[in-house]
Chains A and B, each alone.
Chain A
Amino acid sequence: MTPSRIPPLQISAFTATSAVGVGKAALADALAHSRSGLRANDFGASPLPTWIGRVDGLEALQLPEALAAWDCRNNRLAWLGLQADGFMEAVAAAHKRYGPTRIALILGTSTSSIGETEEAYTQLVDGAFPPGQQRPKVHTPHSLALFVQQALGLEGPSETISTACSSSAKVFASAERLIRLGLVDAAVVGGVDTLCGSVLFGFNSLELVSPEPCRPFDADRNGISLGEAAGFALVERGRGALELLGYGEASDAHHMSTPHPEGMGAERALDDALARAGLATDAIDYINMHGTASTKNDEVEGALVARRFPATTHASSTKGFTGHTLGAAGIVEAVISLLAIETGLKPGNVNTTTLDAECGPQIKLQPARGEVHYALSNSFGFGGNNCSLVFGKGAAA
């Protein structure tokens, strides 16, 4: 069933904080100069031999007194991310325009505060959490949205979407539905995920972690580099300079941790996103691919882009810059797609030297500049959970 076209929504503010720095300027600079933010793994007591996208300064960051009960690495990164690019001020202005109950808060995360729960397990007293860890709202997936809701003073519908690596792409879909139905006028969407033992040792147990900086779509790629990031966007009813035009959500119905071999779920997400935007593949100027640098993902996604897009489309994965930020990947790459539209910067594939022969001419190693009217961002997760987003330049641009 092909979805109908949706009215565009304006993206009135957006920001991302990752291993390449705090806010959009640091991100755009890294993308323009093909500067990776990855470093040799120095996270935790016994670091695995891999590379990570770690955000500096979180260890020393202190939450304001009123929010101190929410303290954990994930909420600290959320707080750092909210300070960038005037995002808090933009939300405060929307708060005045619409009222706090008319703004939804929909955030994606894969592991939320589990790093704090891991920490608590090293501090047990008689098999129980010590007094300082008796914080039930921190040791639960919704910790992130509960914290951000209080930090922003929002009172609208709030949920945490946790569909692994598609989490913070799907937030745009949920927000669009609430706005279209008139349940809210605007939504703060985004996602935050932080490095923790669960994901470093978990992906290691699946033999998906590279001992080197990840090389998306390289013929010799050998796994992912994990990263951490926070990103947010303010989505409002009406037209604007930057717009959400479409989204597609679909399932592989294939395997928990391996993508569908023909990319059927990914292609369905792509087709639904294009249908909602009322566009064909040849309209897309830039594709931010999921491109994790795992053998399977890149093979399947590379083939999908090669068979569906014209040679003129510029496609790249930015995982080599930030690492795979899991539940935050969707929003970080949405921000990169919005920056591409705003500035004309189409990033390359950093770290990659020899493209896999199965990739089409769309995937570019070097960044390029040019008019970007329409950008597509792909996010695919464990459980075969796929989401594609289409953003565009609005009439107001």
Chain B
Amino acid sequence: MMTTPKTPTLYIEGPAFWAATLPGWEIASAVFRGDGAPADPPAKRPSPQLLAPAERRRAPDTVALALEVAGAAIAASGRDAADLPCVFASAHGDLGINDYMCSTLAADPLLLSPIKFHNSVHNAAVGYWTIGTGCMAASNSLAAYESSFASGLLEAAAQCAADQRAVLLAGYDMPAVGALASVTTSREMLAVALVLSPTRTARTVASFEWSLAAGALPATRVRSDAARALEVNAMADALPLFEALARGESEALSMTLSPTLSLQLQLQPELQLEALN
């Protein structure tokens, strides 16, 4: 197995999580540790406070998901969102809007809604995020099919390490809608976020060493039933890392980038001052 040269240690702040059954990091981390039960009944849809109430209702699902977790990660990190470059990752973008666009084009293309069209760009969520937070830093939106979280993490880690500044990472996917559901397998809603920092701070929850490894290494599997139930979502490759952050143990994680390449993380939890008090 060939691995890449040593990259700088990075630090994780503000893990954030949203799924209908696990609507928030507090409940998700408790369930992942085996200390709680999923929400019953499940939540319907996140309502990100960044948007005004009317915008919140109109926002596409992916925008609601992304802004919810991005806002939670920023709040938990105690940072100012306006300062942070942001990397948003989604395997498929907004499948509801894609279904609308393709259905309308097949029926009567002149009826296409201009708002739906500008919301159809893959970077709509990060666009709304930067507008809502006044962030003028670099913003990115990427896709890498079933390795979208791992690829987003690599992009964010590279940016954090290369520029020595904190970066916001969010990953989200939604269920396929309409005829697309006959070919695109993503189901349920899942969104995750965290802040990567080049330095340890009072809000650091874990540090990690990272490298690329060539070869067909098996990916770390999920451990909890609650996470397993979310593996139907296209952002599922984020689940093992968030389970590990919830458990707070030192561990090695392997995340698939392609059939012949993986992102290797050596995760080291930080002692939480709050937890000691």
Contact = CB atoms under 8 A, between A and B. Distances in A.
Contact of A163 (B101, B105, B120, B123): B123
A261 interface: no
B105 A197 contact: yes
Contact of A141 (B2, B92, B163): B92
B106 A256 contact: no
B130 A251 contact: yes
A142 B7 contact: no
Interface string B152-173: 0011001101110100000000
Nearest to A196: B105
A129 B183 contact: yes
Interface stretch (B21-29, B68-76, B241-249, B253-261): B253-261
A203 B128 CA distance: 19
Contacts of A128: 179, 182
Interface stretch (A153-161, A277-285, A292-300, A306-314): A153-161
A383 B121 contact: yes
B265 to A, nearest CB: 14
A255 B132 CA distance: 10
A381 interface: yes
A251 B117 contact: no
B136 A252 contact: yes
A163 B140 contact: yes
B261 A159 contact: no
A97 to B, nearest CB: 15
Contacts of A127: 178-179, 182
Given A1-B165, A382-B118, A117 B102 contact: yes
A121 B122 CA distance: 20
A324 to B, nearest CB: 14
A136 B121 contact: no
Contacts of B92: 140-141
A303 interface: no
A201 B109 contact: yes
A141 B122 contact: yes
A215 B136 CA distance: 30
Contacts of B5: 182-183
B127 A146 contact: no
Interface stretch (B31-39, B46-54, B142-150, B201-209): B142-150
B168 to A, nearest CB: 12
B124 to A, nearest CB: 6
B131 A129 contact: no
B273 interface: no
B118 to A, nearest CB: 4
A362 interface: no
Chain A, interface residues (CB within 8 Å), range: 35 or more
A288 interface: no
B184 A140 contact: yes
Give the most central of B93, B138, B145, B185: most A CB within 10 Å.
B138
Nearest to B113: A205
B219 interface: no
B114 A253 contact: no
A392 interface: no
A96 B1 CA distance: 18
Interface stretch (A56-64, A173-181, A218-226): A173-181
A170 interface: yes
B261 A251 contact: no
Contact of B136 (A181, A206, A264): A264
B179 A118 contact: no
A307 B105 CA distance: 43
| Centre residue among A114, A178, A182, A383 by max chain B CB count within 10 A | A383
A101 B127 CA distance: 32
Interface string A166-202: 0000100110111011111000000000000110011
Given A117-B180, A183-B212, A384-B130, 6 more contacts: A101-B261, A136-B184, A158-B257, A183-B4, A198-B101, A385-B123
Interface of B: 2, 4-5, 7, 82, 85, 91-93, 98, 101-103, 105-106, 109-110, 112-114, 117-124, 126-128, 130-131, 133-145, 148, 151, 154-155, 158-159, 161-163, 165, 178-180, 182-185, 212, 214, 257-258, 260-261
12 contacts: A117-B102, A118-B102, A120-B183, A128-B179, A141-B92, A157-B154, A157-B257, A183-B158, A183-B212, A198-B102, A201-B110, A253-B131
